[in-house]
Structure 1
Amino acid sequence: MKLLEQIGLAALRQVDPERAHGMALNALNAGLGPRGGPFTTDRLQTTLAGLDLPNPIGLAAGFDKNATALHPLARTGFGFLEVGAATPHPQPGNPKPRLFRLAQDQAAINRFGFNNDGMTAIAQRLARRPAGRVVGLNLGANKDSSDKSADFATVLAHCGPYVDFATVNVSSPNTEKLRDLQGKAALAALLGQVMDARAELTKPIPVFLKIAPDLTTDEIGEVAEVANTSGIDAIIATNTTLDRGGLHGPHKAEAGGLSGQPLFERSTRVLAQLAGLTDLPIVGVGGIGSAAQAYDKIRAGASAVQLYTALVYGGLSLVDDIAKGLDELLVRDGFDNVADAVGSGRNDWL
């Protein structure tokens, strides 16, 4: 199976990256993905903001933007899934080309700009989601919105009944002025609107906040201060970076957000700093491509992790490999459960 996967990945890498992404989703829906479900043990079973997970390995937002492959993704090794980002109205996103592989760096640069089918279509798909799996939605704002803060609350109100958690994404670098909403006053006001919308749901769900890796130490402190008082349930650290240091290949200077291996250290340091400023659970994202890197995020302070770019190079079988390898690392270090390892190596990243 892994040989067939590697042949398929090699073929996809000969195709335009965005087209290859669409082909991968089509292949999943045709039944060509893993079917065994998440690998789990007593050590890997954990909770995240009250959500029971079979393992702490999640799919990051952006892979299944429009919630079109939920059923096949539910049969893969992920302990939880996040789809989106969804905006109130459909939008095409930025002009193509807008996705670039940096194979030498095991990385990617994207400037999609929240291209999606809009909250109405996405909510209809989420209403038919597979039972028994934790599924969340990344909330976004329309590019031409006159009130981007209100967009997040609008999407939550519309889609909240169909998901287990929602993520406020104010950290994408590809929508103009979106990252400005990470400022203390703007973020507090935005989250206030979102929490008001959550209170109106028949079944209130956990709300997460996704932040950028390019924040200064003072800015991280301000985010933590707002997060601690806003009533949100977790923080996702981090989104893509605008940094371009040390990259290789013809696409290294393309505009957009950089993800993959070059982001690992930067995002993990932000995670470790944040873990010292809040008791909220943190989801570690950015550059995870192995069990050792997932374990580093957990030891830095993450209660769970998410993958995306590594799947471009390692395929969906990587998820099981990471879960099994993480279980072995927990055994090696004498941890009875992954929650016991959270933050155990935080000082290594400060």
Structure 2
Amino acid sequence: MALYSLLRPAIFALDAEKAHRLTIAALKLKPAGRPVAVDPVLATRVAGLDFPSPVGLAAGFDKDAEVFAPLLGLGFGFVEVGTLTPRPQAGNPKPRLFRLAEDEAVINRMGFNNGGQDAAAARLARRQPGGIVGINIGANKDSADRIADYAQGVRAMAPLADYLTVNISSPNTPGLRALQDKGALTELLAAVVEARGAGGPPIFLKVAPDLEPMDVQDIADVVIAQRLDALIVSNTTISRPPLRSRYAKEMGGLSGAPLKPLALKRLRDFRRATEGQVPLIAAGGIASGADAWARIKAGASLVQLYSALVFHGPGLVRRIAEELRDLAQREGFANIAEAVGSEERNDRLV
């Protein structure tokens, strides 16, 4: 953390996207290291997978599956690469990534920029055993049939993934969030499940925080009916809470600290709507062990970080894991799994 504090002014002097590419380049030079060791307090089982820690990396950082091995070596319990689309695409015009330093937030309108699934598959095929790597899939912006894109993505990436995430919640591909509509979502998830076939990896769905109560219940009903393995709550928001940065009015999805209250509320909404039948993974505004612990007690089995790393550096990963271990033991839980959803259990006792 101290080293990152020294480097941060130089990093922040660079354009945000250039700084990100520099970070990827630096990670490519880093030895892979060992995936995090199993800790009996932190280890948990979700969707048939054994996670050594509940602290994971959200999609969007390693878009092209270039550095998942060094990232696992930083202490993440799992890493999610992507979003990957069937065909390469350049994404939206630059600038499209903005640091809101005063708000500890990020606005992005990247637009699923990536080199395509074939190129990423070649890198993932060389993956060494150890560590959990999820693959986040999306549709090409100019696709005539987006559901077919997702089905193709499942067929292409399933053999290489520990789990697959269907991303229909990015605000930066026009019309994509319409797939969260109940009818469209039913059609999409049926196609995705069929494309996976028997014996394929678990399938997760990543949803937006900008949902009405009826949307939440509809999504929960479809996910349960289609027997999906988990929900990731949530992606970036198009809403704008009060912000201080000069970039506050930039278009795109907002992440980081200002997203925390909305993401936590939406997590609680999905916990109620699914009645605990579907594992939940929390993302959005998690920057400390206390933040992660609040999500776990609200119903999340796992948590994901991204924007907080921009402001706090890579040492944050292990710090959150250590804080989670201390919090679990302090509150009398033998492990993280015991604490999942304990907030609502306590509410019933009051």
- Following superposition, the deviation at residue 229 of structure 1 comes to 0.3
1:4 equivalent to 2:3? Answer yes
| CA deviation profile, 1:281-310 (whole Å, cap 9, x unmatched) | 000000000000000000110000000000
How does 1:235-254 map onto structure 2 within 5 Å?
235-254=231-250
Query: What residue number does 1:281 align with?
Result: 279
- Following superposition, the deviation at residue 346 of structure 1 comes to 4.0
Query: What residue number does 2:107 align with?
Result: 109
Query: What residue number does 1:19 align with?
Result: 18
How does 1:45-84 map onto structure 2 within 5 Å?
45-84=43-82
- Following superposition, the deviation at residue 347 of structure 1 comes to 7.8
- Following superposition, the deviation at residue 9 of structure 1 comes to 2.7
Conserved in 2, the CA contact under 8 Å of 1:39 and 1:320?
A: no
- Structure 1 letter corresponding to 2:136: N
CA distance in 1, matches of 2:144, 2:289: 43
CA distance in 2, matches of 1:36, 1:123: 22
How does 1:144-163 map onto structure 2 within 5 Å?
144-163=142-161
- Structure 1 letter corresponding to 2:108: N
Q: How many residues are matched?
A: 346
Residue number among 87, 92, 95 corresponding to 2:93 in the alignment:
95
- Following superposition, the deviation at residue 29 of structure 1 comes to 1.3
How does 1:154-173 map onto structure 2 within 5 Å?
154-173=152-171
Residue number among 83, 86, 101 corresponding to 1:85 in the alignment:
83
- Following superposition, the deviation at residue 32 of structure 1 comes to 7.9
Query: What residue number does 2:175 align with?
Result: 177
- Structure 2 letter corresponding to 1:53: F
Query: What residue number does 1:264 align with?
Result: 260
- Structure 2 letter corresponding to 1:227: V
Q: Secondary structure at the match of 1:121?
A: helix
Pick closer, same or farther for the CA change 1:348–1:96 going to 2, 3 Å: farther
| CA deviation profile, 1:95-117 (whole Å, cap 9, x unmatched) | 00000011111000000000000
- Following superposition, the deviation at residue 7 of structure 1 comes to 2.1
Unaligned 5+ segments in structure 2 are: none
- Structure 1 letter corresponding to 2:306: Y
Conserved in 2, the CA contact under 8 Å of 1:99 and 1:112?
A: yes
Conserved in 2, the CA contact under 8 Å of 1:38 and 1:320?
A: no
Superposition TM-score, scaled by structure 1 size? 0.96
CA distance in 2, matches of 1:72, 1:116: 20
1:232 equivalent to 2:224? Answer no
1:189 equivalent to 2:174? Answer no
CA distance in 2, matches of 1:27, 1:336: 38
Conserved in 1, the CA contact under 8 Å of 2:34 and 2:72?
A: no
- Following superposition, the deviation at residue 37 of structure 1 comes to 4.0
- Following superposition, the deviation at residue 180 of structure 1 comes to 0.3
- Structure 2 letter corresponding to 1:237: V
Query: What residue number does 2:329 align with?
Result: 331
Q: Secondary structure at the match of 2:80?
A: strand
- Following superposition, the deviation at residue 4 of structure 1 comes to 2.3
1:221 equivalent to 2:220? Answer no
Superposition TM-score, scaled by structure 2 size? 0.96
CA distance in 1, matches of 2:344, 2:70: 35
| CA deviation profile, 1:159-192 (whole Å, cap 9, x unmatched) | 1101100000010000000000000000000001
- Structure 2 letter corresponding to 1:25: I
RMSD: 1.6
CA distance in 2, matches of 1:343, 1:159: 32
The percent identity for this pair of structures is 48
Pick closer, same or farther for the CA change 1:295–1:208 going to 2, 3 Å: same
CA distance in 1, matches of 2:252, 2:188: 24
1:134 equivalent to 2:132? Answer yes
